[in-house]
Amino acid sequence: MKVVVLGSGSIGMLTAFYLTKQWRSTLLVTNRIKQAKFIEEKGLHLLHQDGHSEMIHVTVESISTLEHEQIIDLLIVTVKSYHVEQVLKTIEASKLTISSILFLQNGMAHTELFSTISVPEIAVGVVEHGARRTNDYTVQHSGVGQIRWSYVRKHSSTVEAVFQETRDEKFRTKYESMWKPMLQHKLVVNACINPLTALFSVQNGELLQNPHYYSILKQVFLEIIEVIDIENKEQMWEYVCHISKETGVNRSSMLSDLENKRKTEIDSIVGYLLQQAARKQMTTPVLNFLFEAVKGKEKENKLGEDNL
């Protein structure tokens, strides 16, 4: 079975590492030429929570490899949400035969594009690991969590087959029967935590500890659950607080994007919620504020997009 991980950010590196370690060689595809050279020369390094590190050899190729005719059993797309559209266009125009695609992005805007792809099997997942790229060939596995995933379009159960072969207590995966609630729950968490931590420049846990930030967090939450229908609102609020606490010392991905002058995933997270609100003709002043404020920060930073 040929498995390709597309995107060499922290989640791509983490996924390629464990798949290769536990299962078999996985191809990592990137358009960061310098990074590809480093990984080829030095191997892919993973820094564990206890400080010890491991290295494995992973095959890395540039994005142009996707132009060649080939059969891919599973393509795991780990690029940032704003690159998904471009990736899908590349795939649709290519001579690739892909049986199954698994998307691992924050937000939900990319799910609106699924109807444009003809791949027989589509799955989505949410990543609950803490991972940080510390240099071009090292990923720090700062929080051992799991990948929850589900089928949007099921055909050959390829994702299941690959994950069954990839058993590692530090890289657990969990199948969920319904993809939409799974992504919605993660969306609520990201929409609550990411913009606020990015704008206030604080670690996730600070949103619970500072009573003023806590009060704003609650207002954001209340507006979001008006926009998307979440069944158990009390439980959802507890989940947001739980993630904030569990990842208390983390700097959210949005904060880290702004600090590193990269484009954020605000469009796929809050932008997606604003679209849903507009469809329902709802006014959402808090979400509008968050969206414009993060966009304003991006503009201030004169940022560039993160590479695939």
Nearer residue to ligand PAF within complex by CB, 158 or 250: 250
Residue 262 near residue 208, CB atoms below 8 Å: no
Name the minimum Å distance from CB 85 to ligand PAF: 20
Whole-number Å distance between alpha carbons of 90 and 94 = 6
Annotated catalytic residue within 186, 218, 261, 263: 186
Give how far Cα 141 sits from Cα of 34, 47, 48, 263, Å: 22, 6, 5, 23
10 counts as binding ligand PAF under rule CB under 6 A: no
Establish if 243 lies at the interface with ligand PAF (CB under 6 A).
yes
Give least dist CB 186 to ligand PAF, A.
7
Is residue 186 part of the annotated active site? The answer reads yes
Q: Which of 99, 252, 264, 307 binds ligand PAF (CB under 6 A)?
A: 252
* Strands 3-6 and 70-77, sheet pairing: parallel
Is 183 a binder of ligand PAF (CB under 6 A)?
Answer: no
Q: Is 2:73 a contact under the CB 8 Å cutoff? A: yes
- Closer CB to ligand PAF, residue 10 or residue 166? 10
- From 35, 81, 100, 106, residue interacting with ligand PAF (rule: CB under 6 A): 106
224 binds ligand PAF per the rule CB under 6 A: no
Quick check: 298 and 262 in contact, CB under 8 A? Answer: no
- CA distances (Å), origin 221, targets 167, 193, 236: 35, 10, 9
108 binds ligand PAF (CB under 6 A): no
Tokens standing for residue 122: 């589509």
Q: Is 105 in the site for ligand PAF (CB under 6 A)?
A: no
Residue 190 in contact with ligand PAF, rule: CB under 6 A: yes
Closer Cβ to ligand PAF, 27 or 139, answer by number: 139
In angstroms, the CA 258 to CA 62 distance is 26
Least separation in angstroms between residue 289's CB and ligand PAF is 19
Coil, helix or strand at residue 58: coil
- Does position 78 bind ligand PAF by CB under 6 A? no
Question: Measured from the CB atom, is 43 or 205 closer to ligand PAF?
Answer: 205
Residue from the set 8, 140, 184, 194 that interacts with ligand PAF by CB under 6 A: 194
**Please, which residues bridge with residue 112 across strands?**
none
Q: Is residue 139 involved in binding ligand PAF (CB under 6 A)?
A: no
Binding residues with ligand PAF: total (CB under 6 A): 11
User: Among 20, 26, 250, 307, which residue interacts with ligand PAF (rule: CB under 6 A)?
Assistant: 250
Amino acid identity, position 217: L
> How many whole angstroms separate alpha carbon 36 and alpha carbon 236?
40
Residue in 8, 30, 105, 253 binding ligand PAF, rule: CB under 6 A: 253
User: Site for ligand PAF (CB under 6 A): which residue of 4, 14, 19, 189?
Assistant: 189
CA distance 201 to 199: 6
Angle separating helix axes 285-301 and 179-200, nearest 10 degrees: 60
Give the containing element (helix H, strand E) for 81. none
Q: Is the dihedral of CA 110, 111, 114, 115 positive or negative?
A: negative
> Which residues participate in catalysis according to the annotation?
186
Which residue ranges make up the site for ligand PAF (CB under 6 A)?
A: 106, 189-190, 193-194, 204, 243, 247, 250, 252-253
